[in-house]
Amino acid sequence: MANRIKAIKAIKALCPRIDLEAPAREERYMQLITQRTTLSAGVVRNVQESELETIIGILMEGRSVHTGTAVYSPSIGLDGEITVNVRPDVRIAHALNAAGAFRGKIINADNIGRTAADLVSQWNELHPEDAVEG
């Protein structure tokens, strides 16, 4: 079991991951929306509030909501707490995965396409004093 935990630690340390920048603030979002449309920031805020209230209302009816950018679905846990699952529109992932489209920083980008076994081997080469056995 300890070896399995060590292997998970090695894979987690070396797997590719996105170096997330600070989140975009609402002001930046509004700026980009108003630049791309003829709508003012006030109108965009009103539309967002209306959309939020509409989504909540439909979810309260026990229905999923398809907004055009995501699907919101209510679910319930064993404790009775209701949560919301959000599934983004596939166009978002397609846009991010288009060749050369992603402009963010990827940590361990050289390890894209490698297997878990490859990462464990790499870990063992880099950390012989803490090698994963077997």
- Residues 33-90: pLDDT tens digits? 999 999 999 999 999 999 999 999 999 999 999 999 999 999 999 999 999 999 999 9
CATH number of the domain enclosing 38: 4.10.520.10
Same-domain check for residues 56 and 43: yes
Q: What would the mean pLDDT of 98-107 be, rounded to a whole number?
A: 96
Same-domain check for residues 40 and 98: yes
Same-domain check for residues 48 and 26: yes
- What value does the mean pLDDT of the chain take? 94
Domain tally, the chain: 2
Query: What size, in residues, is the chain?
Result: 134
**58-69 as b/e, with b when 16 or more CB fall inside 10 Å?**
bbeeeeebeeee
Per-residue pLDDT at 14: 95
- Residue whose C-alpha is closest to residue 105's, from 11, 18, 8, 13: 18
Cβ within 8 Å of residue 131, ≥6 positions away: 123, 124
Same-domain check for residues 67 and 1: no
**Dist. CA 77–CA 15, nearest whole Å:** 32
Same-domain check for residues 85 and 120: no
Structural domain boundaries enclosing 111: 1-21+106-134
Per-residue pLDDT at 134: 65
Same-domain check for residues 43 and 58: yes
Same-domain check for residues 29 and 10: no
DSSP bridge pairs for 84: 74
Cβ neighbourhood burial of 35 (10 Å; 0-12, 13-18, 19+): exposed
CB 87: neighbour CB atoms within 10 A? 11
Per-residue pLDDT at 55: 98
Same-domain check for residues 88 and 124: no
Same-domain check for residues 47 and 97: yes
- Residue-wise pLDDT tens digits, 75-96: 999 999 999 999 999 999 999 9
